[in-house]
Chains A and B, each alone.
Chain A
Amino acid sequence: MKILAIAYGHFPKVFKLYSRFQPDVGHLKVVLDDVPSDGFDQADFVATYRQLATFFPSITEHSCCEEWESAPLFIREEQGVSIKRVGESADVAHLIEHVIVDMQVNIGGMQRCSGLTCGWRDPENRFDLFVECIDSRIGLFAAQFAVYLVSRMLSKRKLSGRYKFVLQLAKYFTENPEAHTNARALSTELNWSVGNAEMAMSRLHKFGFFHATS
């Protein structure tokens, strides 16, 4: 699975797919390719969801394909799982979209955020994700980090709890734009070990958090 392109701007046509997008808010468009064609079976989907919910607790409160005339007829609902499953590759892309949406609210400070997962007819394993976004820098980071996390889980690797430091640091920098970017100074400021501060900083760099997007 890989990202082919990420763009930020206004995509007027998406309002035809989902009329409840906020009119003045820009969109992040993520083109995702080589999404595994078999998706998840029920047990894997629920396990992946539960693991993601430990990092992104508010995904348990997301609305998913509700009150929506375009919801596929074959959608499946699992007990206690807020994200619905359709039983194909779209589930992987849709899970990534939920994670990106969650980061827009909890790191980007948006009051509300909606997203769409659009599966191509050809090739079938390519998806366009449209997510409302007010800060392209957060969007660039969120898209890359979400794909990284879900890719790791697809390869049956358990996510390290240390990734929570990455999310906390992204939020810290968003709320404190003048903060130190030196790992040692951050470790003192946040009362973290130097190792955790260094790891979180390196991940933020890797996933574009410090990329100037203006």
Chain B
Amino acid sequence: MKGCKIVRTLHINESGNRIKNLFVSDEISRKEAAELVNDSEPFSSKYRIVLNCKSERRKAGEHRKLTVGIGSD
């Protein structure tokens, strides 16, 4: 992670939401960083692939059920 700086810049994106830059590489200007996070281009033309994932904290009940299930076999 050499050559990077952490910055705090508040700016307004096109839809009026506040986006806070937390980190910007030394290799790009503030203007480029703003463009990278503002999402002005439609996603359908910007992205070629989209993958998702989800993590959920396991509930105590689910764990107990799993343990009982193994024991009863």
State the Cβ distance, A2 to closest chain B Cβ, in Å. 6
Chain B contributes a number of interface residues (CB within 8 A of A) equal to 36
Q: Are A213 and B53 in contact (CB under 8 A)?
A: no
Partner of A139, one of B19, B22, B27, B58: B22
Q: Are A7 and B21 in contact (CB under 8 A)?
A: yes
Q: Are B37 and A7 in contact (CB under 8 A)?
A: yes
Task: For chain A, give the interface size range.
Answer: 35 or more
State the Cβ distance, B13 to closest chain A Cβ, in Å. 8
Q: Chain B residues in contact with chain A, CB under 8 A?
A: 1, 4, 6, 8, 13, 15, 17-25, 27-28, 33, 36-37, 39, 43, 45-58
Partner of A7, one of B15, B22, B48: B22
Partner of B56, one of A17, A97, A112: A112
State the Cβ distance, B30 to closest chain A Cβ, in Å. 10
* Chain A contacts for B58, CB-based, 8 A: 58, 61
Q: Are B49 and A5 in contact (CB under 8 A)?
A: no
